Chain A
Amino acid sequence: MQELNYREMGLLDEEYEKIKEIMGREPNYLELSIWAVMWSEHCGYKNSRPLLKTFPTEGPRVIQGPGENAGIVDIGDGQALVFKIESHNHPSAIEPYQGAATGVGGIVRDIFTMGARPIASLNSLRFGNIEDARVRELFAGVVAGIGDYGNCLGIPTVGGEVYFNPSYQGNPLVNAMCVGLVNSDEIALAVASDVGSPLMLVGAKTGRDGIHGATFASEELSEKSQQKRPSVQVGDPFMEKLLIEACLQLIKEDLVAGMQDLGAAGLTSSISESASKKGRGVEIDVLKVPRREKGMTPYEIMISESQERMLIVPRAGKEKRIKEIFDTWGLDAVVIGQVTDDGMFRVFEGKKMVGEVPNAELTAGCPVYVRAGQEPSYYQECKRFDIDALPEIKIGEALQKLLGSPNIASKRWVYSQYDYQVMTNTSIIPGNGDAAVLRIKGTDKGVAMTTDCNSRFVYLDPYQGGMLAVCESARNLACVGARPLALTNCLNFGNPEKTHIYWQMQESIKGMAAAAKNLNTPVVSGNVSLYNETAAGAIYPTPVVGMVGLLPDIKHRVDMSFKDEGDIVVLLGRLRDELGGSEYLAVCHGVESGAVPVVDLDEEKKLIELSLELIGKDMLKSCHDISEGGLAVALAESAIKGNIGFKVNIEGQKGRADKTLFSEAPGRVAVSLERDKLPELTAMANNKEIEVHVIGQVEGSNICINKGNQHINMAVCDAAKIWGEAIECHMK
């Protein structure tokens, strides 16, 4: 072990020099590994911090922005939502089931660490081509892992997204989001307070799990990292469930001064971070840490990533009561160290001091790299791609192909493995609306949540793509009747040391920040996952957005299914024809290129306001946003969900039918309503300067679309079969 040097731990030469300078000597092996994990990208955000600073993070509803375990927004009545999204990409690539499961476990701990009861989970998944057997294995393992862990905890998994694209072939993405509910006066923050306060470790025993996980997550997946494979972290959801109940009880009884979950880099980062908040020091004795395995070295104990552990700083005199509570739940709680006043992070093995590092430098001293991004040549080339040169194909065939594309097809195979109803709050279940809706018991309120990112757009145009991701999230919330409040994000990119990757990061963050600012949805938490590359190249840049919204009265909510014969079908927003980066180009022409549809943030904002007003007045029977697959797919989905047909005629738009029907341009929703509500709707839309296109009505049992001399006529049940069974067929 000792022969590993700093480079193999992921430190650069100049970083090592800086460490020696800070310490005034050579660090020993334990100290070096503490530096290495704390200064890894995963813990230190050294490549992303300057970029993250550009996000808008404040707003009237923001109680807690980035910097804590999770962000918090006010939802009135003294209640708040606590939420965050996080990646577990690399562990899932190695062991999909356990990797995904422990990803859920980690994000859930971030939420209840703040005193909130977790009320919902979501996940955003990306895999290679589903035709590939290894991809299917990963996909199946990840979904089972997420399901089994969340189901056992009794936290409903209510939403998410799944995409398949060759860029993720060797490097799947597994991002997990959790949302919690807290009374605003019971929020707990991770602060190690008074000098002399004991540090208690609770939960699972420490083993050699995931040693080097944090540094590992900051490197490209290569042959070498396969060898350096960390021993796998195994999740124990049962233990986590007990931890949730016990920890929430501690907070109800106001027994803790600080609480911190153990995530990446285990004890090292949780101890160091909780002490750094007030410039304190800490000392811990590794021999006091309950261990699962024999012969563990101080180094192994300090950086082990064994799951389901929490660090607790009791309020003075409350240790006994805390122990009682953990005892009730059959959990051990052990004092392993204490807060000191001299700012040093000291590790003892019994009486012997085995490591000593200045804590402030360990956290705040982490180097920051502002790199120079450079626009890659593919960007302009793709923008110039000439779509008009592509042959026009029959729109009926195209619609069939799109409905059967795994990126558009029903995700029922996925969410039927998730318990999405436990806790009896889920009012709009997965698949029925553009976002999940949960009621808040004891109030009239509802909350909605969604995750979104079209990474093909981001690849083709990171700035527009970043804006599009935020807009889609906000629009999805508005479509169920929820006002978007704030967002969390997970920035999944390749190796930031490459100039074009850094450029992708810069530009997409710029786009996200602009949209978040304009739509009044500040960024309150997030996570960064870099080095998502294999020998074959980097993943598509994938800045996933998770957003929460509020329904003042859950009575006014709407799903996406067409309801009644004779209702009119209306497109709110412009008829548009940009096809660049669309699923249609990818599926029907094998092309992932073109100029990405342009976002008009003001228009998007007005559309969102209009949708909220309409739903608030109960004017809509269905509402569905236009995204992957365009207008035609949106209408088909509403028909399939309602098991009823429609007849639509598109006039007033010259040019190719495929452009009008399959454009994924933003700022549009397709709604259905009673005919006699049309005048009022039109007046309201005019007020907001949003175009109203009455394009047809709900009728019969067929999907009928006419555009110029092109026609689609397909039985709803046939469409439902293609759309409903596509993923299932692959996974048999």
Chain B
Amino acid sequence: MRFGVVVFPGSNCDADCYHVIKDVLQEEVDYIWHKESQLGAYDAIILPGGFSYGDYLRTGAIARFSPIMPAVIDFANRGGLVIGICNGFQILLEAGLLPGAMLRNQSLKFICDTAYLKVKRNDTPFTNQLAAGQLMKVPIAHGEGNYYCDEATLEELRRNNQILFTYSNAAGEDSPDFNPNGSIANIAGIINKEGNVLGMMPHPERCSEEVLGGTDGVNIFVSMVKSFQEVIQRCKN
């Protein structure tokens, strides 16, 4: 499977994602410079975390006009797997690939910590290696992870089962008491209706190796590989 990691000026988790795909999963991976206007033959695209364009004006607002973005949007619309992590999630929102917007954390402070995530469904290309209801321990690090959308959109997210991860405590309660940033309905990650585009604030690439204190995150990338292999298998049959 071939992954592409898009590098915007100011991306800073690009190398971390690259490392997990290449050295941990041992799959193929390339960097894609934001000034490219075409995507090569990729099976999945990662929009990494960081501070694209310094996060100036609004997170993701400037990056979404990068020359590569029309190709990414096209790739997503054709059903390609796209995962946006942290700043990548913010860019997906600004680009309209996912609904909603990102506000500053309720505390008004950047927060670096480890959060418990509750996996809401496992019938997606990103969570097939996980169980529904399972808890994951995943690092978070963001100043603007306070996900916002209006009531109607939230209703729709719920109706379509688009909420993939919520913040919870160690006992799996995802009530507002265990919400690190104020995001609506404790949302930590959502997918699009079609299920091929994921945006999440937590950083799975930071917990994909034992030496970093946990490996819960690697399951998301492994899920992507599994789902890709299944598609290939189906095509063969």
Binding site for B on A (CB under 8 A): 144, 147-148, 151-154, 236-239, 241-242, 328-330, 415-427, 429, 439, 441, 554
Contact = CB atoms under 8 A, between A and B. Distances in A.
Contacts of A554: 211
14 contacts: A144-B110, A151-B141, A152-B54, A152-B55, A153-B12, A154-B51, A238-B9, A238-B10, A238-B51, A238-B53, A421-B139, A423-B16, A439-B212, A554-B211
Nearest to A415: B112
A154 B9 contact: no
B205 A424 contact: yes
B53 A417 contact: no
Contact of B206 (A236, A238, A424): A424
Interface of B: 9-10, 12-13, 15-16, 19-20, 23, 35, 49-51, 53-56, 109-113, 139, 141, 143, 203, 205-206, 208-209, 211-213
A129 to B, nearest CB: 23
B113 A416 contact: yes
A154 B12 contact: yes
B212 A147 contact: no
Nearest to B139: A421
B208 to A, nearest CB: 8
B19 A441 contact: yes
Given A427-B212, A427-B213, A236 B54 contact: yes
Interface centre among B35, B49, B56, B143 (most CB of A within 10 A): B143
Given A416-B111, A417-B110, A427-B213, A422 B51 contact: no
A151 B16 contact: no
A553 to B, nearest CB: 11
Contact of B12 (A241, A415, A425): A241
B112 A416 contact: yes
A417 B109 contact: yes
Contacts of B49: 422
A242 B9 contact: yes
B33 to A, nearest CB: 8
Given A152-B10, A421-B206, A237 B141 contact: no
Contacts of B139: 421
A421 B54 CA distance: 19
Contact of A330 (B9, B56, B113, B203): B9
B203 A154 contact: no
Contacts of B211: 427, 439, 554
A107 B61 CA distance: 30
B180 to A, nearest CB: 10
Nearest to A424: B16
Q: In terms of DSSP, what is the predominant structure of the interface of chain B?
A: mixed
Given A151-B51, A421-B139, A241 B112 contact: no
Given A151-B51, A238-B56, A415-B112, A422 B19 contact: no
Nearest to B16: A424
Contact of B109 (A144, A152, A238, A424): A144
Contacts of A419: 110, 112, 141
Contact of B112 (A417, A423, A441): A417
A420 B112 contact: yes
A723 to B, nearest CB: 17
- Pairs of residues from A and B, 3 with the lowest C-beta to C-beta distance, nearest first: A154-B12, A238-B54, A152-B51
A329 B49 CA distance: 18
A418 B141 CA distance: 8
Contacts of B53: 238
A689 to B, nearest CB: 35
Nearest to A238: B54
A144 B104 CA distance: 14
Nearest to A418: B112
Contacts of A151: 51, 110, 141, 143
A590 B40 CA distance: 69
A251 B16 CA distance: 22
A287 B143 CA distance: 40
Contacts of B9: 238, 241-242, 329-330
Contacts of A423: 15-16
Contacts of B35: 328
A343 B212 CA distance: 53
Contacts of A238: 9-10, 51, 53-54, 56
A221 to B, nearest CB: 28
Given A422-B13, A424-B212, A237 B54 contact: yes
Given A151-B110, A330-B9, A415-B112, 8 more contacts: A152-B55, A237-B51, A237-B54, A328-B35, A417-B109, A422-B16, A424-B19, A425-B212
Contacts of A425: 212
Interface centre among B53, B109, B205 (most CB of A within 10 A): B109
Contacts of A147: 110
B81 to A, nearest CB: 22
Contacts of A330: 9
Contact of B141 (A153, A329, A421, A427): A421
A122 to B, nearest CB: 15
A238 B23 CA distance: 28
Contacts of B23: 441
A518 to B, nearest CB: 33
A154 B19 contact: no
B21 to A, nearest CB: 12
A39 to B, nearest CB: 37
Given A422-B16, A423-B15, A154 B50 contact: yes
Given A424-B212, A554-B211, A154 B56 contact: no
Nearest to B113: A416
A417 B19 contact: no
A423 B212 CA distance: 11
A153 B13 CA distance: 10
A727 to B, nearest CB: 13
A421 B203 contact: yes
Nearest to A413: B109
Nearest to A155: B12
Contact of B212 (A144, A329, A416, A426): A426
A425 B143 CA distance: 21
Contacts of A418: 110, 112
Contacts of A420: 112
A429 B207 CA distance: 13
Contacts of A237: 51, 54
A415 B110 CA distance: 10
A148 B111 CA distance: 11
